[in-house]
Structure 1
Amino acid sequence: MSNKSATSSVAATVQEPMDHSVELGHGNSPAAWTCVAIMLFGCIVGCIAFVIGESATIVFWAGVAIMVIGLVTGMVMKKIGYGVDGSKLKNNGH
Structure 2
Amino acid sequence: MSNSIDDPGHGHSPAAWTAVVIMLLAVTLGTVFYWFDMPALVWASAGLLVVGALVGWGMAKAGYGAKGPKYAPKQH
- Deviating above 4 A after TM superposition, structure 1's stretches of 4 or more consecutive aligned residues are none
Which protein is bigger by CA-based radius of gyration?
A: 1
TM-score (norm 2): 0.82
Structure 1, unaligned runs of 5 or more = 1-19
Alpha-carbon RMSD: 1.8
- The residue that corresponds to 1:69 in the other structure is 51
Whole-Å Cα distance in 2 between the matches of residues 89 and 25 of structure 1?
10
The amino acid across from 1:57 in the alignment is: P
CA change 1:90–1:24 in 2 (3 A) is closer
TM-score (norm 1): 0.67
The amino acid across from 1:33 in the alignment is: W
Asked which structure has the greater RCO (Cα within 8 Å, sep 6+), the reply is: 2
Number of aligned positions between the proteins: 70
- The residue that corresponds to 1:88 in the other structure is 70
Which one has the bigger helix percentage?
Answer: 2
Structure 1 position 23, deviation (Å) = 2.2
Structure 1 position 90, deviation (Å) = 4.6
User: In the alignment, is the contact (CA less than 8 A) between 1:45 and 1:62 conserved in 2?
Assistant: no
Whole-Å Cα distance in 2 between the matches of residues 65 and 74 of structure 1?
14
